[in-house]
Amino acid sequence: MMRSHYCGQLNESLEGQEVTLCGWVHRRRDHGGVIFLDIRDREGLAQVVFDPDRADTFAAADRVRSEYVVKVTGKVRARPAGAGNANMASGAIEVLGYELEVLNESETPPFPLNEYSDVGEETRLRYRFIDLRRPEMAEKLRLRSRITSSIRGFLDGNGFLDVETPILTRATPEGARDYLVPSRTHAGSFFALPQSPQLFKQLLMVAGFDRYYQIAKCFRDEDLRADRQPEFTQIDIETSFMNETEIMGVTETMIRKLFKEVLDLEFGDFPHMTFEEAMRRFGSDKPDLRNPLELVDVADQLKDVEFKVFSGPANDPKCRVTALRVPGGATMPRSKIDDYTKFVGIYGAKGLAYIKVNERAKGVEGLQSPIVKNIPEASLNVILDRVGAVDGDIVFFGADKFKVVSEALGALRIKVGNDLNLHTCEWAPMWVIDFPMFEENEDGSFSALHHPFTAPKCSPEELEANPATALSRAYDMVLNGTELGGGSIRIHRKEMQQAVFRLLGIAEDEQQEKFGFLLDALKYGAPPHGGLAFGLDRLVMLMTGAQSIREVIAFPKTQSAADVMTQAPGVVDAKALRELHIRLREQPKAE
């Protein structure tokens, strides 16, 4: 090997030893006849000192510049008193350089790596191979590697088999658009890239591989946001002969072990909360329990008021009227309230009513709000008591369709909690359980809340009789308001699977065309089975404190699902298209 040690591995125990380092010149400093080079590799930095006593080596050090690739041999020695650097793992020592070989030169990088600079994300992604040299980026990928290593170790040690499933498969309705791959050998037909290994892992259960896992690439052609990418990585887990309590127990143990090994954090048992309670109290099925604010339903107090903005939704079973108390919020200026009003508008809210509680002892006179004149004082007192309002608080209100109010005030809860630094702890893991089987669309049809292979908590007959109220055997693990992973007990009987397909409007011929292989498998002794899939990118994002999953993926796509480094997607030549039996429609020319 060209090197004897990584830069970040040097410490006082090596004092007096000769070492050879290979890496990039992170920083060069000339201090009056002595040249200092900070050499960087994936493990960290090391300071190398060159003095004029070795003329050739000193001259070589004088010529190097930032990002040159070098090989250095020298002796480890303690730094002079007061010259240590606590910000470097090797900050107590330095290397006195004997030999310096330039392995490659470098042009001036498009952005500096040895100091913070506000570089646009597109530039960073265009030169991602340089961006990844930055110590903070290298540390994120190193931590990602430790995370996957810990997870593999746990699953291997608990009898799970790592089995790969196909990337080229067929299109199935799983919620998002598929990425399609045309077939050269089957004219007019297309493969689809998998949105998840869902069907294959179920087939592995039918095949008898009762503990499976895979760290799998998945693909979804959907609108992107901070925690979404068109291709992403999933920790996929499936088991047979285990119920939901047992599956949740195994995966919770895995996550607790992971956080202890990687971040030295100890979690207690994760609390469980039903979907209904999460939506009622927090307006979200992935509540951030670090935030103490809660939504409180107050429709019963507003059914008879003349103010139609409240009484209309209060008397509509498909709506909700909810209050959100913010402690100490009465000092909030009108401009901030206006900002929050615009914010909830993003989620469809038509406005944001509020009451400032200045002095409750004065009754209505102690309340500041344009809406108090429309609500009887007795109802106001019940509402304020129910939300726990005291002097100095502000109470926000939402009144609209259940989905609009839940999303708008749920998002406002998160925003206000962040703005006012209300978090009561750093980490808050939990489970959400008892999800509805379906969500009802505007036209009265149903969509699967998770996916169409999730088992319900009832018989096929009960399911078809009352689909709107049916609960599923699904469960999500949530951490700090982010869904880490979701899973369920799967359907393992053909008659139940067909009942679910019928409720989703999938006719028998379409069932056979798209899922015939699964329905066939269910006829041949499919065992009870279930599983869970974690989003690895989101998990790493949370554990590193990154703001986006793009920060923890080596080569991510942009917000428009493009790779600016390789210029993908790109144009394909006409010959390749002919071989795929594809002809492009000419785009109309701009006027």
Give the pLDDT of the chain (591 residues) as one tens digit per residue.
899 999 999 999 999 999 999 999 999 999 878 999 999 999 999 999 999 999 999 999 999 999 999 999 999 999 988 888 887 888 899 999 999 999 999 999 999 887 766 788 899 999 999 999 999 999 999 999 999 999 999 999 999 999 999 999 988 766 688 999 999 999 999 999 999 999 999 999 999 999 999 999 999 998 766 568 999 999 999 999 999 999 999 999 999 999 999 999 999 999 999 999 999 999 999 999 999 999 999 999 999 998 999 999 999 999 999 999 999 999 999 999 999 999 999 999 999 999 999 999 999 999 999 999 999 999 999 999 999 999 999 999 999 999 999 999 999 999 999 999 999 999 999 999 999 999 988 888 999 988 899 999 999 999 999 999 999 999 999 999 999 999 999 999 999 999 999 999 998 898 888 888 889 999 999 999 999 999 999 999 999 999 899 999 999 999 889 999 999 999 999 999 999 999 888 877 666
Nearest alpha carbon to residue 2 among 111, 123, 99: 99
3-state secondary structure of 470: coil
Per the CB < 8 A criterion, the answer to whether 204 and 238 are in contact is: yes
Answer whether the bond into residue 197 is a cis peptide, omega within 30°: no
Map residue 483 onto helix, strand or coil. strand
Q: Which amino acid is at 180?
A: L
Alpha helices in 26-104 (DSSP H): 55-63
- Cβ(490)–Cβ(530) under 8 Å? yes
Calculate the alpha carbon distances from 112 to 134, 361, 412, 551 in Å.
Answer: 9, 61, 38, 18
Distance from C-alpha of 441 to C-alpha of 588, rounded to nearest angstrom: 36
Q: H-helix or E-strand containing 212?
A: strand 211-219
Distances, alpha carbon 587 to alpha carbons 32, 101, 182, 366, 567, in Å = 65, 55, 21, 65, 21
400 pairs with which residues across the strands?
320
Q: Tell me how far apart the alpha carbons of residues 550 and 548 are, in angstroms, rounded to a whole number.
A: 5
pTM passes above 0.85: yes
Between CA 117 and CA 320 the distance in angstroms is 47
CB 536: neighbour CB atoms within 10 A?
Answer: 24
